[in-house]
Chain A
Amino acid sequence: MSLFLHYLSLPYLITGVWFTLAVTALGLGGGLILGVILAAMQLSRFAVLAVFARGYTIIFRGTPLILQMVFAYDALPQIGLKLSAIGAAGLALAANEAPFIAEMLRAGVLGIDRGQVLAGQALGMTPSLLMRRIIAPQAVRMMIPALGNETVSALKNSSLASVISVQELTLRSTQLASSTFDFFSIFFASGLIYLVLTTGVSVIQLLVERALDLDRPATESRFARLLPWYRAPLALQAVTSDPIATAQPDEAVTSKDPKISRADRTKRSAGLAHNEVVVDVSGLYKAYATQPVLAGVDLNIRLGEVVALLGPSGSGKSTLLRCINHLEGWDAGTVKVGGRRMGFREDGRPLSPRALAEERAVVGVGMVFQQFNLFGHLTALENVAGPLRWVHGVPRADADRRARELLERVGLGERAHALPRHLSGGQQQRVAIARAIAPNPAVLLLDEPTSALDPELVNEVLEVIWRLAIEDGLTMIISTHQLRFADEVADRVVFLSGGTIIEEGPAHQVLTNPRNPITARFLNAMETDKPTVAPA
């Protein structure tokens, strides 16, 4: 026991700990850098890079670390690269850790909800901006436990550096054991030292996880929370204000008088006919394999016009909307927004993803998704203000003011600092609408904005859209199954089936008196929501 304690505190072994930590740090740091490069190559749209990264992964994940250590130490000098022992060990460990870290990074990136990426693209974020602001912050949070694991494993693997003369803990233990013959005392002591080190890593991991935990109130001092007399504050205010916020729009919807708005809108629709064309879709054709989703669509949307896209599921409504924003490519036909051919250079060649993102931001096509697609790690306020700052370069104060105004408008002024996961579906969709209209888009595309909502939450969202159409005169294309809403809000209804427009015309006319039998059948099937034939 006394020998054990003697070795536990022996400066010779303690110095070995520093070598162990140095090799681990080099291995992890280098592995992280290499891993980021490898992951980027694998996720890249250039196949050559992905193949190269795959090859590297196969070699370095598939050979033992001890061989890589000896290689870095003894073979590299043959080509003139003579690293110090620690350098060679660090290099080998980094090269070995990199594929594992790259896979963790890749899993983290691929684990981010695809919808958030789409939403970011629709907001005009370039791929690098998306990575920095949306994907990386969330991926890193998911990766912390795995990184903790990897750190512990790297720390233990550093002991293999003993074969190439790095004076780390294991090598020093074996040398000491050889000269003193106190085999077990020494190895118990060095085992305990390793345990202390790995426990330290676990503690750091937990602290980092805590620090990155989005659910922790950011205003609280972290130190204060550790004090024994600290009591968590009750989050009563937010909870009590919630029903009020949601109740208001409901009230507005019921108090609205469709008669008046329809009379106004008939007049309005007549005026729209002379407005300039904002969206010009012609001959749009797109097929998955041989199955056409869009089989030649021609559509013009004029400034201030609200168009409802109707049609059964799979009729191509969502695809059409995504093509207008160039979130998806197509096979033939053109899409022009504001007179500009989206997604193509002047010579007709496709734009790079980065240039396309910039064009989206300039042209201004806002998009609201069925699944809301809010950025999960950002508060409601930041969901709106962030893209304004990052994409449009709006100063923080101005972006925050604009975001607050918009959240106020959609009835969520009280919930500005709530995370998406703490908001109801209806509230999330209202934030998503605020986010989409924040940069003043030329046209707003809404892809079944209420389909994912519980029935009692539908109205609060429809109310917001209704006000945007009527009060702001925003140009909108809405794909929806809400026939009554389409009747109340849309100037025109476009009915899609099998990838083509089979009927279009003034909203009330198409909805109450369809000419095409498919339209009629569809409307009949949706009987419950069908507007009355002759509104009083």
Chain B
Amino acid sequence: MVPSNFSGNFPGSLSAHRFRAIAIAAASLIAVCISGQAQAAAPAGCTALQAKYPGWKGKTLVNAINPHTPGYEAIDPKDPDKYVGFDIDLGEQIGECLGFKLTYKAVTFAALLTTLSSGQADIVISDIYATKERAKAADFVTYSKVFDGVLVAKGNPKGINGINTSMCGSAAAENTGFVEVPLVQDLMPKCKAEGKPEPTLQLYDNNANCIQAILAGRADTYVNDVNTVDQAVKANPDKLEKAIAVTIPYSVGIAVPKDKPEFRDAVMAALIELQKAGIHQELLKKWELDPNNFKEPDILMAD
């Protein structure tokens, strides 16, 4: 089912496949390790962190998520009262490390940061790309590199091969507030310059609607996180395909309120501990995400 133009353009994915082949025997062991770890104890450094940042110990915090991204955050199809995914596990591990528990608040993607800044949530771990623009609304602790996939109808009838002039004249579905929106908008003058029709943008508020837009023939492409695109192809293998994967110059970040620098530092410190203990990497494997996503944390704030 892998399209022919796929492997050459996306080394990250290639290595993921290689890894999968190597680690397939260890997969069950890893899963056991992770669940065992989650139950047993957080990394040793966490004890020191809880002493250094005692303000969140024993608390229950609200994590605002847009649970429409299987693999990162979505409800568990087997038990819909639970949210599952890489971001969910990472958040709970951070919570474990700092001594807090998480509850979840499901909002639209565009409402993630407003929910945080209005105080209706304490933290946002929802596959949100940390950009300077968004850093005006929240501080980010970045934890993952970004690889985008270009989702198209089976056979890629429009021949789209990236966020470039191959998209001229086609209809792109995106979620309101996605960083891909301005990227597609930037194409409009370029297409015009080449004498081609401009691409059109259709804005929805979750992945499912964007994917449906392609299935229904309303949109030609949907550019989003490569894992989301892979999941969509997996669910509709005879109707969709991933045209290409592209790198875009952002990191995924955990958003925290701007007025709580101590909390930001605590989250960052906890994430470092998790990475030192190898938990972050194991979670990537558990959710079959590309290990190349791994990134040492940074803080992104508004200038």
Contact for A74 among B106, B118, B207, B208, CB less than 8 A: B118
B75 within 8 A of A: yes
Residues of B within 8 A of A78 (CB): 118
Add 12 more A-B contacts to A85-B120, A167-B106 (CB < 8 A).
A163-B108, A165-B105, A172-B80, A174-B208, A175-B67, A176-B75, A178-B68, A178-B207, A181-B211, A181-B232, A181-B236, A183-B208
Query: Can you list the 8 inter-chain pairs with the closest CB atoms, starting with the nearest?
Result: A12-B80, A179-B74, A178-B68, A181-B235, A74-B118, A178-B208, A165-B107, A165-B105
B303 within 8 A of A: no
Q: Tell me the interface secondary structure of chain A in the complex.
A: helix
CB of B80 within 8 A of CB of A10, answer yes
Interface size on A, residues (CB 8 A): 27
Report the Cα distance A176→B70, complex, angstroms: 10
A179-B120 in contact given A12-B80, A172-B80 (Cβ < 8 Å): no
B185 within 8 A of A: no
Give B107 Cβ to nearest chain A Cβ, in Å: 5
CB of A171 within 8 A of CB of B118, answer no
CB of A183 within 8 A of CB of B68, answer no
Residues of A within 8 A of B118 (CB): 73-75, 77-78
Report the Cα distance A74→B107, complex, angstroms: 12
Beta-carbon nearest neighbor of B234 in chain A = A181
Residues of B within 8 A of A165 (CB): 64, 105-107, 111, 115, 120
Beta-carbon nearest neighbor of A184 in chain B = B212
CB of B70 within 8 A of CB of A178, answer yes
Report the Cα distance A75→B236, complex, angstroms: 40
Beta-carbon nearest neighbor of A7 in chain B = B80
B278 within 8 A of A: no
Within 8 A of B (CB), among A85-102: 85
Scoring A residues 5 to 44 as 1 if CB is less than 8 Å from chain B, else 0, what string do you get? 0000010110100000000000000000000000000000
Report the Cα distance A3→B162, complex, angstroms: 36
Scoring A residues 164 to 200 as 1 if CB is less than 8 Å from chain B, else 0, what string do you get? 1101000110111111110100000000000000000
Beta-carbon nearest neighbor of A179 in chain B = B74
Residues of A within 8 A of B249 (CB): none
Report the Cα distance A236→B106, complex, angstroms: 65
Contact for A77 among B68, B106, B119, B209, CB less than 8 A: B119
A70 within 8 A of B: yes
For the A-B complex, the count of residue pairs with Cβ-Cβ distances under 8 Å equals 82
A345 within 8 A of B: no
Within 8 A of A (CB), among B101-125: 105-108, 111, 114-115, 117-120
B227 within 8 A of A: no
CB of A171 within 8 A of CB of B74, answer no
Contact for A163 among B80, B107, B119, B209, CB less than 8 A: B107
Residues of B within 8 A of A422 (CB): none
B81 within 8 A of A: yes
Beta-carbon nearest neighbor of B212 in chain A = A183
> B residues engaging A (CB < 8 A)?
64, 67-70, 74-77, 80-81, 105-108, 111, 114-115, 117-120, 205-209, 211-212, 215, 232, 235-236
Report the Cα distance A77→B114, complex, angstroms: 11
Residues of B within 8 A of A15 (CB): 81
Beta-carbon nearest neighbor of B118 in chain A = A74
Scoring A residues 412 to 455 as 1 if CB is less than 8 Å from chain B, else 0, what string do you get? 00000000000000000000000000000000000000000000
Q: Tell me the interface secondary structure of chain B in the complex.
A: mixed
Beta-carbon nearest neighbor of B77 in chain A = A180
Residues of B within 8 A of A171 (CB): 106
A174-B114 in contact given A12-B80, A77-B120 (Cβ < 8 Å): no
Beta-carbon nearest neighbor of B121 in chain A = A165
Give A271 Cβ to nearest chain B Cβ, in Å: 85
Selected A-B contacts with CB under 8 Å, 11 pairs? A12-B75, A74-B115, A78-B118, A85-B105, A163-B107, A164-B107, A165-B115, A165-B120, A175-B68, A176-B75, A179-B76
Give B250 Cβ to nearest chain A Cβ, in Å: 22
- For A77, A167, A174, the residue with the greatest tally of chain B CB atoms inside 10 Å of its CB is A174
Residues of A within 8 A of B81 (CB): 12, 15
Residues of B within 8 A of A181 (CB): 208, 211, 232, 235-236
A82 within 8 A of B: yes
Report the Cα distance A70→B110, complex, angstroms: 11
Report the Cα distance A484→B256, complex, angstroms: 93
Report the Cα distance A71→B77, complex, angstroms: 32
CB of B208 within 8 A of CB of A177, answer yes
Residues of B within 8 A of A85 (CB): 105, 120
CB of B67 within 8 A of CB of A70, answer no
Residues of B within 8 A of A183 (CB): 208, 212, 215
Give B142 Cβ to nearest chain A Cβ, in Å: 25
Residues of A within 8 A of B205 (CB): 163
Give B225 Cβ to nearest chain A Cβ, in Å: 13
Residues of A within 8 A of B206 (CB): 174, 178
Beta-carbon nearest neighbor of B232 in chain A = A181
Beta-carbon nearest neighbor of B106 in chain A = A165
Give B198 Cβ to nearest chain A Cβ, in Å: 29
Give A162 Cβ to nearest chain B Cβ, in Å: 8
- For A77, A164, A176, the residue with the greatest tally of chain B CB atoms inside 10 Å of its CB is A164
Give A481 Cβ to nearest chain B Cβ, in Å: 72
Beta-carbon nearest neighbor of B70 in chain A = A179
Report the Cα distance A85→B106, complex, angstroms: 10
CB of B67 within 8 A of CB of A178, answer yes
Report the Cα distance A180→B119, complex, angstroms: 31
CB of A74 within 8 A of CB of B75, answer no
Give B167 Cβ to nearest chain A Cβ, in Å: 25
Beta-carbon nearest neighbor of A76 in chain B = B118
Report the Cα distance A172→B80, complex, angstroms: 9
Report the Cα distance A494→B75, complex, angstroms: 87
Report the Cα distance A77→B81, complex, angstroms: 27
Beta-carbon nearest neighbor of A171 in chain B = B106
Residues of B within 8 A of A180 (CB): 77
Report the Cα distance A179→B79, complex, angstroms: 11
Residues of B within 8 A of A163 (CB): 107-108, 111, 205
Give A80 Cβ to nearest chain B Cβ, in Å: 10
Residues of A within 8 A of B74 (CB): 175, 178-179
Within 8 A of B (CB), among A133-182: 163-165, 167, 171-172, 174-181
Give A79 Cβ to nearest chain B Cβ, in Å: 11
CB of B69 within 8 A of CB of A164, answer no
A179-B67 in contact given A73-B118, A174-B208 (Cβ < 8 Å): yes
Residues of B within 8 A of A74 (CB): 111, 114-115, 117-118, 120
